[in-house]
């Protein structure tokens, strides 16, 4: 069972002063590394997504000696590439009342008051610089005829602050970031290590001093030493097996750091995205997202009558329930994701769902096409419509889309302080991998913003501060240090054990089963009994995995089964922690919905008296006995209130 640490609350190192000047003051007080000394420091950056790519490029520009790792064959394929809809920034280019304050307010409220105010404010402040930086890189953002940047709206906001590049915003931002990165590769400040999977962190004298990874082509176990490690390895939604994330997305890097002492915060805060293409069959490998931007013009509805099997065109207007518009008139189809997802689940659970399985709702563009014309609609969403058509064989220009919620994003991750440093000195965590600025629910178009803020504008300052402040770093370590040897032999042993396992079931079968457990009990609706069931089921599945998995092939070769086996082994432990965290948090907030704690209208009911904290878990050596630490959350600027989108 879980234990609660006796120590005082955790200290997030939040600078003093009013919220508007915390970051500016902090930057003025921060220690600096002189230009001549920067190249003497080696920094490992794991990950080449928006967070890692931006960090590696920016640290390279400053003159650090950067080693940058990723799983894919090239940095440009990091999962960030798949982001579709857009990126928020408080530019107020639309003159519609936006401001840093409002973005800050919307994000704190959207996160259901479970984020750290100081971090969120800094994020809102930096948002404008991101757009400037990306535009200067040549990112082809959407424009108005006059040549200025265009905006669209996303959920949870009443202003239009989302910048976009067709339905490929993540791709274009990542390519901008990748181009800056490759410029540093050319300049010799960044060295790339693609097709490497980090499998362990090396800690020496209490500080992060290197990593051990597997070369995914040759199978060699390699060691790299550094003065600091920056982790930007993305989220863990693939724990659910079926999710909108890329199939190689994983929790291995953060989980292995967790096992080396980094606390894991809010693992149960996962985001189930409301608009994804529904599941078609058991061999499906992933679920495809249909961007939230579609809710700008698409209307969500189900038939008013239960079990109505008529085709949508034969259901007259007065027999349709546009339930989001009905229940949340102020935000309508643009309510935050957690709210839209649960509403869809409620509709389907109560028999109003559509499609073969009854687990889908309609997202209808007929009115938008009437109002705007096909051309405008194609201009805005053409590539998403094509993608939907390619997958389902149905054209959204003619028929409403069928959509259903799917695991999409994880707000939880490694705990970091204001400087983005984990509880292991020298280990910094950026992007989706950290527990982030999104509280219990992330608003659309805010992940790209956070990843780039962390990478371009936060870590270049705070990493320098750490290096300048850490006298011990003058003692350089090399990979000959016994700690590296130890890590290498532990990794080698696990790899050999997996590759030698000759049971009956494939890795994929275990992953699928784990995903089922998490989806059923740690998904959109959770309750104490189900969570207890999940914990015991996961424990049993984990035991079975180690006894009965079959991996095959060689560890000295390109071996996808082996890669996945290591990731699934980690998900089996993390999955239990997700359930434990959800079980201990006796309240509902954002994406964490405990059925026992809801308002009469079925909305999330927080318990600020008892749960206004970040739950940060410590590894105890036994996955079933984690230790809980708490960081108290204070809301001095946005006052605690029930979230309302009516």
Ligand X SMILES: Cc1cc2nc3c(=O)[nH]c(=O)nc-3n(C[C@H](O)[C@H](O)[C@H](O)COP(=O)(O)OP(=O)(O)OC[C@H]3O[C@@H](n4cnc5c(N)ncnc54)[C@H](O)[C@@H]3O)c2cc1C
Q: Judging by DSSP bridges, how do beta strands 361-364 and 299-303 pair with one another?
A: antiparallel
Distances (CA, A) of 310 to 302, 314, 316, 320: 11, 6, 10, 12
Residue 431 contacts ligand X per CB under 6 A: yes
Residue 589 contacts ligand X per CB under 6 A: no
What whole-number distance in Å separates Cα of residue 583 and Cα of residue 577? Answer: 10
Residue 548, binding choice from ligand X, other proteins, none, Cβ under 5 to 8 Å by partner class = none
Nearest CA among 563, 573, 408 for reference residue 499: 563
Task: Please report, as residue ranges, which positions from 81 to 140 form the binding site for other proteins (by CB under 8 A).
Answer: 81-82, 91, 93, 129, 131-140
Residue 465, binding choice from other proteins, ligand X, none, Cβ under 5 to 8 Å by partner class = none
Could you tell me if 437 and 2 are in contact, meaning their C-beta atoms sit under 8 angstroms apart? no
Residue 165, binding choice from ligand X, other proteins, none, Cβ under 5 to 8 Å by partner class = other proteins
Residue 431, binding choice from other proteins, ligand X, none, Cβ under 5 to 8 Å by partner class = ligand X
Residue 549 contacts ligand X per CB under 6 A: no
Q: Judging by DSSP bridges, how do beta strands 65-69 and 190-193 pair with one another?
A: parallel
Q: What is the smallest separation between the CB atom of 18 and other proteins, expressed in angstroms?
A: 24
Could you tell me if 119 and 430 are in contact, meaning their C-beta atoms sit under 8 angstroms apart? no
Q: What is the smallest separation between the CB atom of 414 and ligand X, expressed in angstroms?
A: 12
Residue 5 contacts other proteins per CB under 8 A: no
Q: What is the smallest separation between the CB atom of 310 and other proteins, expressed in angstroms?
A: 23
Considering only the stretches 19-27, 243-251, 469-477, 633-641, report the one whose residues sit in contact with ligand X under the rule CB under 6 A. 243-251
Task: Please report, as residue ranges, which positions from 6 to 65 form the binding site for other proteins (by CB under 8 A).
Answer: 54, 57-58, 61
What whole-number distance in Å separates Cα of residue 100 and Cα of residue 495? Answer: 48
310 catalytic? Reply is: no
Residue 111 contacts ligand X per CB under 6 A: no
What whole-number distance in Å separates Cα of residue 127 and Cα of residue 463? Answer: 20
Residue 440 DSSP one-character state: T
Residue 51 contacts ligand X per CB under 6 A: yes
| Three-class secondary structure of residue 109 per DSSP | helix
Q: Which of 209, 337, 442, 567 is catalytic?
A: 337
Phi, psi of 585 (to 5 degrees): -85, 90
Q: What character string, x for contact with ligand X (CB under 6 A) and - otherwise, covers 278-297?
A: -----------x-x------
Residue 147, binding choice from other proteins, ligand X, none, Cβ under 5 to 8 Å by partner class = other proteins
Residue 516 CA, distance from chain mean position: 20
Q: What is the smallest separation between the CB atom of 97 and other proteins, expressed in angstroms?
A: 18
Reading phi first (left if > 0) and then psi (alpha if -120 to 50, else beta), residue 211 is in beta
Considering only the stretches 48-56, 308-316, 466-474, 545-553, report the one whose residues sit in contact with ligand X under the rule CB under 6 A. 48-56
Closer residue to other proteins, CB minimum distance, 125 or 200? 125
Considering only the stretches 125-133, 138-146, 231-239, 469-477, report the one whose residues sit in contact with ligand X under the rule CB under 6 A. 231-239
Residue 90 contacts ligand X per CB under 6 A: no
Residue 293 CA, distance from chain mean position: 18
Residue 357, binding choice from ligand X, other proteins, none, Cβ under 5 to 8 Å by partner class = none
What whole-number distance in Å separates Cα of residue 272 and Cα of residue 406? Answer: 5
Long-range contacts (CB closer than 8 Å, 24 or more residues apart) made by 101-108: 102/159, 103/127, 103/161, 104/637, 104/638, 105/638, 106/156, 106/157, 106/443, 107/437, 107/438, 107/439, 107/443, 107/446, 108/439, 108/635, 108/637, 108/638
Residue 623 contacts ligand X per CB under 6 A: no
Q: What is the smallest separation between the CB atom of 540 and ligand X, expressed in angstroms?
A: 27
Q: Which residues are catalytic?
A: 337
Site residues, ligand X (CB under 6 A): 46-52, 69-72, 78-80, 82-87, 169-170, 196-198, 232-235, 244-245, 249-250, 252-253, 289, 291, 408-409, 431-433, 445-448, 451
């Amino acid at each position: 069972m879980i234990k609660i640490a006796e120590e005082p609350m955790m200290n997030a190192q939040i600078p003093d002063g009013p919220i508007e000047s915390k970051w500016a003051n902090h930057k003025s007080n921060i220690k600096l590394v002189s230009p001549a000394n920067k190249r003497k420091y080696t920094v490992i950056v794991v990950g080449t997504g928006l967070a890692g790519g931006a960090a590696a490029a920016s640290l390279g520009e400053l003159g650090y000696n950067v080693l940058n790792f990723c799983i894919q064959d090239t940095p440009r394929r990091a999962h960030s590439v798949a982001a579709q809809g857009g990126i928020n920034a408080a530019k107020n280019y639309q003159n519609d009342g936006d401001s840093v304050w409002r973005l800050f307010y919307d994000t704190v409220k959207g996160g259901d008051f479970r984020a750290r105010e100081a971090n969120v404010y800094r994020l809102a402040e930096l948002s404008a610089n991101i757009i400037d930086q990306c535009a200067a890189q040549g990112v082809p953002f959407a424009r108005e005829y006059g040549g200025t940047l265009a905006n669209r709206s996303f959920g949870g906001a009443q202003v239009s602050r989302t910048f976009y590049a067709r339905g490929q915003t993540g791709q274009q931002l990542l390519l901008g970031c990748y181009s800056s990165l490759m410029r540093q590769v050319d300049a010799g400040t960044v060295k790339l290590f693609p097709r490497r999977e980090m499998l362990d962190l090396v800690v020496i004298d209490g500080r992060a001093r290197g990593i051990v990874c597997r070369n995914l082509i040759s199978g060699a176990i390699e060691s790299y030493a550094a003065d600091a490690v920056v982790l930007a390895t993305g989220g863990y939604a693939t724990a659910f097996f079926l999710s909108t994330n890329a199939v190689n997305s994983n929790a291995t890097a953060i989980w292995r750091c967790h096992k080396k002492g980094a606390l894991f915060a809010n693992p149960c805060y996962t985001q189930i995205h409301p608009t994804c293409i529904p599941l078609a069959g058991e061999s499906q490998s992933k679920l495809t997202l249909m961007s939230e931007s579609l809710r700008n013009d698409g209307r969500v509805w189900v038939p008013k009558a239960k079990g109505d099997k008529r085709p949508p065109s034969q259901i007259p207007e007065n027999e349709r329930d546009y339930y989001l518009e009905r229940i949340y008139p102020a935000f309508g189809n643009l309510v935050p994701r957690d709210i839209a997802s649960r509403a869809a689940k409620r509709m389907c659970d109560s028999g109003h769902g559509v499609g073969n399985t009854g687990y889908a709702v309609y997202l209808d563009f007929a009115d938008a096409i009437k109002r705007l014309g096909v051309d405008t609609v194609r201009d805005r969403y053409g590539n998403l419509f094509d993608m939907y058509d390619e997958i389902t064989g149905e054209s959204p220009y003619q028929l409403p889309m069928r959509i259903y919620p799917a695991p999409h994003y994880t707000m939880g991750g490694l705990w970091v302080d204001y400087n983005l440093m984990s509880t292991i000195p020298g280990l910094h965590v950026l992007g989706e991998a950290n527990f982030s600025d999104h509280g219990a629910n992330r608003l659309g178009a805010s992940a790209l913003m956070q990843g780039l803020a962390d990478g371009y504008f936060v870590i270049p300052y705070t990493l320098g501060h750490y290096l300048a402040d850490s006298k011990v770093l003058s003692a350089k370590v090399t990979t000959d240090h016994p700690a590296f040897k130890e890590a290498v032999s532990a990794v080698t042993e696990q790899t050999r054990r997996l590759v030698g396992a000759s049971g009956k079931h494939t890795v994929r079968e275990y992953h699928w089963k784990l995903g089922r457990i998490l989806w059923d009990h740690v998904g959109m609706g959770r309750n104490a009994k189900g969570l207890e069931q999940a914990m015991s089921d996961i424990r049993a599945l984990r035991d079975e995995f180690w006894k009965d998995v079959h991996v095959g092939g060689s560890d000295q070769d390109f071996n996808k089964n082996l890669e996945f086996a290591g990731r699934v082994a980690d998900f089996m432990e993390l999955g239990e922690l997700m359930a434990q965290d959800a079980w201990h948090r006796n309240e509902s907030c954002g994406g964490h919905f405990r059925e026992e704690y809801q308002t009469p209208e079925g909305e999330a009911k927080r318990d600020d008296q008892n749960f206004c904290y970040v739950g940060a878990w410590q590894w105890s050596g036994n996955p079933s006995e984690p230790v809980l630490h708490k960081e108290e959350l204070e809301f001095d600027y946005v006052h605690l209130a029930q979230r309302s989108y009516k």
